[in-house]
Chains A and B, each alone.
Chain A
């Protein structure tokens, strides 16, 4: 058990190392990091100081380790636009993003999992078909199209809700709805197939053949087993809380991390992009780690054999 968790933590650390390496390689390939991070208008003495501080005159492997050191100390460069530390800019946008993604996460789970479970238990029924059609639509309609359709109907045609901005809670309704609908569809489809797979297993048939009431078969055998794959996708969704709203924030002019990222990419504000990249990686790795730990409790078999899976 201890070993299972140790391996998981080691892998999480390795992922972070890979992301930092990715950032380092991309940064070095794209030109002079000093110019990239500080911007072309930076005074030469600042550039020189930066090069010295980041050891840009050292051999490449030394730079690589220094880069790790700098990141570990939270030195992530300054924004090209207003010279503020990138980390500050990113951190102050997080509450706005969470104001969208947390409620959306709640709605996804509250809609998607019951809908998927119900559809699986009533396979072939009208509701099953409706859930599946909605789920397919949720996959094929991109979020920006869904967002614009919602704006067209509820803001332009009906005039009930504002189409963009962050002035009141009413401004959050359409972005949250966009995020929730797409996510709920994915989750419903996933839950349904996980549930169907479990329901097809011999132990379910055995349990119901033995005369265990169907309700009890579902609640005490099927649901716990179907929960295991569902937890994975939930973990992935938790990981996207910080940066899962890139498109939606842009459509609704919502000042969150995603919009900051899009603006930073358009302006090639590399310090900010790098900072968001690392932050997202941290979030993903942390949520994956939590999922792995949950797995450990949900499925005791994994603890003994699944360390490399």
Chain B
């Protein structure tokens, strides 16, 4: 290895280990904890999430048997919370993945074919952006009923237009000049140009968009579930628990406070990470 390459790797190492602010470190720790909980919810949970304990109904938090108390059927709030985190995160991740993939694909198609395809994508994204998503989601739920896959798919319709716009704009500018045009004239197929070259180059901007969409998906799902129109019992989600705990607001506020706090801290954590990433990765986005 020459001196030059040694210096090179040293520089790269310095870039990959930046000083992380305390707030961001906490936010990352929280998200990692949530992911671990989501992965092992049933193993960590002290009780089954539907298991009744009729002698300990509406037990207050802080007792040895039930750290976060129990609900009106004596179900352990902590166990329910852990399972709820799993379901809510499953929906949020699934939906974010769907909307990122679909939106980016549509944006690339618009950039590649231009003309009528582009106009159609732009028209649909304008339409999506101008209608309140909650109303559209409620309409779909009314017409089709409810199931977990449908809910994930429905939430996956949320935010796709942002990816589509970003992907379209960046792909057009990459195609107009620079590396994409260079690779195209090497004889590369469009899929090679878009997936191997353009996608990695715009990934940071797309990831920042993800951190904006993800918390909104969590809020949207928990809102729907809170209204009783999202995740259906006996399944439970964070919004579901809050909606359920609302009836015991006076006697047992902890039923509602534990999942509510989880929602708030999780969306806050993702936003904090998103802001930090945006400053670091993408100075062009505001």
Contact = CB atoms under 8 A, between A and B. Distances in A.
- In the complex, A touching B, CB below 8 Å? yes
Interface stretch (A118-126, A148-156, A209-217): A148-156
Nearest to A36: B143
A interface residue count range (under 10 / 10 to 19 / 20 to 34 / 35 or more): 35 or more
Given A148-B246, A239-B132, A266-B229, A246 B138 contact: yes
Interface string A231-242: 000000001100
B145 A280 contact: no
Contact of A270 (B124, B143, B256): B143
B268 A284 contact: no
Contact of A151 (B228, B242, B249, B267): B249
A93 B224 CA distance: 21
B222 interface: yes
A45 B219 CA distance: 45
A195 B140 CA distance: 38
Nearest to A259: B227
A179 interface: no
A27 interface: yes
Contact of A261 (B131, B135, B249): B135
B67 to A, nearest CB: 21
Interface in B119-166: 123-124, 126-127, 130-132, 134-136, 138-145
Given A30-B143, A145-B263, A262 B138 contact: yes
A250 interface: yes
Given A151-B249, A251-B246, A142 B223 contact: yes
A271 B23 CA distance: 49
B interface residue count range (under 10 / 10 to 19 / 20 to 34 / 35 or more): 35 or more
A95 B192 CA distance: 57
Contacts of A140: 215, 264, 267-268, 271
A288 B126 CA distance: 11
Interface string B244-286: 0010011001001000100110011001000000000000001
A285 to B, nearest CB: 7
B138 A261 contact: yes
Nearest to A285: B130
Interface in B85-132: 123-124, 126-127, 130-132
Interface in A153-201: 156, 193, 197
B132 A30 contact: no
A80 B267 CA distance: 38
A15 interface: yes
A144 B223 contact: yes
A244 interface: yes
Nearest to B228: A266
Counting chain A CB atoms within 10 Å of each CB, the highest count among B134, B138, B145 belongs to B138
Given A27-B143, A145-B260, A15 B267 contact: no
B123 A273 contact: no
Nearest to B286: A193
A98 interface: no
A23 interface: yes
B226 interface: yes
Contacts of B243: 144
A285 B131 CA distance: 9
B145 to A, nearest CB: 7
Given A144-B223, A156-B249, A273 B132 contact: no
Task: Name the prevailing secondary structure of the A interface residues.
Answer: helix
A14 B131 contact: no
Nearest to A262: B227
Given A139-B267, A280-B132, A273 B143 contact: yes
A265 interface: yes
Given A144-B223, A273-B143, A197 B286 contact: yes
Given A139-B271, A140-B271, A273 B260 contact: no
A17 B140 CA distance: 18
A197 B264 CA distance: 29
B16 to A, nearest CB: 28
A298 to B, nearest CB: 19
B139 A26 contact: yes
A109 B96 CA distance: 32
Contacts of A42: none
B135 A156 contact: no
B146 to A, nearest CB: 10
Contacts of A276: 135
A223 interface: no
B63 to A, nearest CB: 22
B142 A264 contact: yes
Given A240-B132, A265-B229, A18 B123 contact: yes
Contacts of A281: 131
A144 B229 CA distance: 14
Contact of A265 (B132, B142, B223, B239): B142
A284 B130 contact: yes
Nearest to B267: A140
B130 A265 contact: no
Nearest to A276: B135
B253 A152 contact: yes
Interface string A217-253: 0000000000000000000000110011011001100
Nearest to B261: A145
8 contacts: A15-B126, A142-B222, A142-B223, A145-B242, A239-B132, A266-B229, A276-B135, A280-B132
CB-CB nearest 8 A-B residue pairs: A265-B142, A30-B143, A273-B142, A140-B267, A140-B268, A145-B260, A26-B143, A144-B226
